[in-house]
Structure 1
Amino acid sequence: MRGVLTLAVGLALVGAVPPAAAQDAGPPSAHEEQRLGWGPCPAAQRELIRAGARCAKVKVPLDYADPAGPAVEITVSRVQARSAKRRGILLSNPGGPGGTGLNSTLTLRRTLGRTADAYDLIGFDPRFLGESSPVRCAPAGPARPPGPSSSARADFDRSVRAARDTVRRCFAPEGNAALLPHASTRNVARDMDLIRKVLGEPRLSYYGVSYGADLGAVFAEMFPRSVDRLVLDSATDPAATQYELFRRSGRPLEGALDEWAAWTARRPSYGLGRTRAQVRAGVERLLERATRRPVAIGGTRLDAPLLRLILRQFVQHGEHDAALAAVVRDLRRAAEGRPVEPGPELAAMLELLESPALADGMVGGALFMCGDGGWPAGGWPQDPEAYWRNIVRDKAALPVFGPMTSGMTAPCAFWGSEPGEAGTPVGNAVPALILHARRDANVPYAGAVALHRKMTASRLVTADVRAHGVYGRAAEGFRPVPCADRAVNAYLDGGALPTRDLAC
């Protein structure tokens, strides 16, 4: 997801496991032959309602190894094709993990244009999220603001306690312990193929961004004969563990901060420094000060971990440079003890940090990261001290973001159940269009190159921008990458893949 704070940088699935079957066996005919009752979409889905979408619930096995056992419901939406030359169905996933997607395919229509008319646009909330048999963790209770003083070790210890508390809250409600082992990317891929079968379609087309791209790669590996057109935007290295992916994002984030610092230095009106080194040094001093004494602003206190979260959110996109400069200016003034009224950029971020939707999204991300690859499959150390040692080790090279990317960002070390099955090593000849921004600070570009090599029939479109997500950027208020948009639309419109990799 591009527009909200996200828990994960993407989801890798461990390659050192036995290969999955070329085509998963799939659910029994009792599920395949169910009849859907299409009706109004949930009232909160105003965009879907305005588009004339209809929604339905698809029953899927909780455990595909026990297809006659308990079922859960996946809520799907459909906007029917408007062209006489209908191609099929187009599904999508907006990322996370933990992102809901009931209307995500519909939002693609702004960039797809007439290409969308050839498809039934099918949105869905992945199992246990949103409108799809959601798993509810026990409420966290009111957040405790940081105290007036702290330290790097105290910040880390709080993150460990928060991780343990997330696990406690998610396993406390009755029935959750039986559900959570089945929150996995492999099961979401199976759910997608069952949706395809229930809709009577021989194949499906798909667009996924960030974690959604990883999901698409897993789907192609498990169900290669079910793929029509496949677009994977901002994917991760399929051979890396989840913790490796977090740590690998540290250097690109520091590089993005350098790029922003150079931009800011050319604009002395912000008062943050006249050279890149001066601007960066000011950010590092801000964090060092917040580590000792959280910054009081806007009626709350922000400790160093929260400041890193804010910095990361803004630094991902070049279009946010001005907003980040204004935020850092406000924070530096507040840290110096000066009275500061948060500007609109910081005020919006403070509101987001208080949002229950943000907390729900982070818990949703944990369900899939830990259900997919808790310890040891996801590479998450079980010993909390291993994270602390990595933070200390990475401090010199990653002074701003190292405590975030090497720390205990996810609660998987303490998860109450092991993954129900091994992950999916990706390596196939399914045609796919892979997109990636060269200066992506959230999911490093090297991951797209690795996936491109594993998917031997793919083509890679590289955009020379600092961004997370390449296709359809104009629809989100960012500068578009026209050649990437054209490549995706031409491909989904029934054209062939580009004859070679593209640089935009």
Structure 2
Amino acid sequence: MLKARPALRRTVIWSTGAAALITAGAVVAPSFGDAAPQANVTAVAATSVQWSPCKPDTPEWAAWKGSECATLRLPIDWARPDGPKFDFAIARRKADPATRTGTLVFGPGGPGDSGVERVGTGLARFSAEVRSRFDIVSFDPRGVGRSSPITCSPELVAERPAPEMKSQADFEATVAYNERLRDDCREKTKPAGIFDHVDSGQTVRDLEAIRIALGEKKLTFHGSSYGTLLGAQYAETYPRNLRALVLESVMDRGVPTTRAFVKDGAAAGQDLFNEFVEWCADKGNTDCALRGRDVRAVWTTLLAKAERGELATPARLAGKLGPRLTANDLVNMVAFRSFYQANFKVLSADIVEMETREASGPPAKLSPVPPAWPVFCGDWRLPARNYREYASLVRTMNKTAPDMPYLLPARLVTSCLGGPTANPQHRLKPAARTAPPVLLVNSMHDPATPHKWAASVERQFGRKSVLLTYDGRGHGSSNDTRCMESAVDAYLTDLKLPARGTHCPAA
């Protein structure tokens, strides 16, 4: 049974995800090699799951009716399966008994999204056909939500340095702050030791434990965004234990260098800004509040106002971002966030409002640190040795995305300075090619996971696997149109892949 946690006055608990990671800190976690022995996972997860109705004790969660929740006791460190344990939260919605095929496990994104909440509130991302055929199970990854959430002192979080470093002194101060934050969060996150073991190399064993505990001979898995990283790592770790694998909005852990990571992310953000400008320029489009105007010039003016601390926050976001916007928040929390759903109409209206609205109230504060930043830093090795190297990365980013300075990729680099990486990125190991054929799904214009990443991962899986492309915009596309939904459903239910190179037209 799930209980809502009481508010704590002197800690910050991060329990749900943010699609944009605007982070601070790094994780220090020892790697335990390629795999915990299969026998260890089997022994830990051998007992059956004890399901009971989800009963969160807050009235706004009434929509959870029909969902079931459970807890698995799993090792904090899979290299020590007999060592200390933590509670790992899972949830499910059952299929129609008359049409049930099996169980589908959904891997949430973020990192920091709660799969338990996704199940509890109905999982509208899946079609009626899939919901009738599969029990849909998801989970809160370790360090998130109800699975030992990362907990830190709010006073220290509030001291986070500005992400735009301007000198070697700033660089050294950021590294020192990251270390202090890691130490603080390590001390406050319970049970002891979990903070250092939240990378996806650990979570992939948790996923295998779910399969075993559910009694599923083979795993059917749908991972979205950051969940694709987990799905791909499962395929290279347990290829023989897969039935089907959908990777939607695909992360490519084969990106080899910090510069390549920053450049790819910047290119994706600029691509969506270009799409926004083109959308506004369409003479038949009456939805753009900026139609007939020079969108780039208007945007440049807003950026300058934000840099001076004079830009008012759009009314719809004032409660989240405060009365004034930093340039960083203008780019990442207003424009970039709107690109996730390609919500260009709202963005154009926000821009017009910001042009005319007078800024008032206190200066904007830095955006808070979102959940599960140690997960990202545990999965990505993105070094910068000094300020000079960091500044070079920022120049690369800004040259690639001239309309989107301050973009997220550079801040991710900043957040992980000073700490080693337990589960560093790499191209998929040859074992992944022995897994059943994989279906990858990606928009042509995705702000967070560029199409080139999905194409790269398709090549790494080999010719049996297929990339299905949505010729539209946005992050997450498996149910954007009937064409997309039908292709994904056919694969999940009957293992029928579309032809290689299949595209679905934009809506």
TM-score scaled by length of structure 1: 0.80
Judge conservation of contact 1:233–1:436 (CA < 8 Å) in 2. yes
SS of 1:59's partner is strand
Judge conservation of contact 2:42–2:212 (CA < 8 Å) in 1. no
Give the 3 Å change call, closer, same or farther, for CA 101–8 of structure 1 in structure 2.
farther
SS of 1:207's partner is strand
Matched, 1:490 2:490: yes
State the match for 2:46 in structure 1: 33
State the match for 2:356 in structure 1: 333
State the match for 2:280 in structure 1: 264
Inter-partner Cα distance in structure 1 for 2:473 and 2:168: 29
Give the 3 Å change call, closer, same or farther, for CA 133–422 of structure 1 in structure 2.
same
Give the 3 Å change call, closer, same or farther, for CA 33–25 of structure 1 in structure 2.
closer
Shift of 1:466: 1.0
Per-residue deviation, residues 262-289 of structure 1 (Å, max 9, x unmatched): 32244689674635xx211221222123
TM-score scaled by length of structure 2: 0.79
State the match for 2:443 in structure 1: 437
State the match for 1:182 in structure 2: 197
Shift of 1:90: 0.7
State the match for 1:59 in structure 2: 73
SS of 2:229's partner is helix
Inter-partner Cα distance in structure 1 for 2:163 and 2:453: 34
Inter-partner Cα distance in structure 2 for 1:110 and 1:152: 37
Shift of 1:73: 1.4
Task: Name the stretch that deviates more: 265-274 or 66-75.
Answer: 265-274
Alignment: residue pair count: 460
Shift of 1:3: 9.8
Judge conservation of contact 2:383–2:417 (CA < 8 Å) in 1. no
Matched, 1:313 2:337: yes
Inter-partner Cα distance in structure 2 for 1:469 and 1:398: 22
Give the 3 Å change call, closer, same or farther, for CA 492–395 of structure 1 in structure 2.
closer
Counterparts of 1:294-309 in structure 2, within 5 Å, are: 294-297=310-313, 300-309=323-332
Give the 3 Å change call, closer, same or farther, for CA 166–419 of structure 1 in structure 2.
closer
SS of 1:391's partner is helix
Counterparts of 1:87-486 in structure 2, within 5 Å, are: 87-105=101-119, 107-108=122-123, 111-140=126-155, 165=177, 167-173=179-185, 174=187, 176=189, 178-241=193-256, 243=258, 244-265=260-281, 266=283, 272=290, 274=292, 278-297=294-313, 300-309=323-332, 310-318=334-342, 320-334=343-357, 339=358, 359=368, 362-364=370-372, 366-373=373-380, 378-405=381-408, 407-416=410-419, 418-421=420-423, 423=425, 425-426=427-428, 427=430, 428-429=432-433, 430=435, 431-456=437-462, 457-472=464-479, 480-486=480-486
SS of 1:315's partner is helix
Judge conservation of contact 1:439–1:467 (CA < 8 Å) in 2. yes
RMSD across aligned C-alpha pairs, in angstroms? 3.8
Give the 3 Å change call, closer, same or farther, for CA 423–245 of structure 1 in structure 2.
closer
Judge conservation of contact 2:309–2:324 (CA < 8 Å) in 1. no
State the match for 1:503 in structure 2: 503
Judge conservation of contact 2:42–2:209 (CA < 8 Å) in 1. no
Shift of 1:446: 0.4
Inter-partner Cα distance in structure 2 for 1:313 and 1:283: 16
Give the 3 Å change call, closer, same or farther, for CA 241–121 of structure 1 in structure 2.
same
Per-residue deviation, residues 276-309 of structure 1 (Å, max 9, x unmatched): xx21122122212322344245562212111111
Shift of 1:201: 1.4
Could you tell me which runs of 5 or more consecutive residues in structure 1 were left unpaired when the two chains were aligned: 10-16, 343-352, 473-479
Task: Name the stretch that deviates more: 297-306 or 443-452.
Answer: 297-306
Give the 3 Å change call, closer, same or farther, for CA 72–423 of structure 1 in structure 2.
farther
State the match for 1:77 in structure 2: 91
Judge conservation of contact 1:24–1:223 (CA < 8 Å) in 2. no
Judge conservation of contact 1:74–1:126 (CA < 8 Å) in 2. yes
SS of 1:493's partner is helix
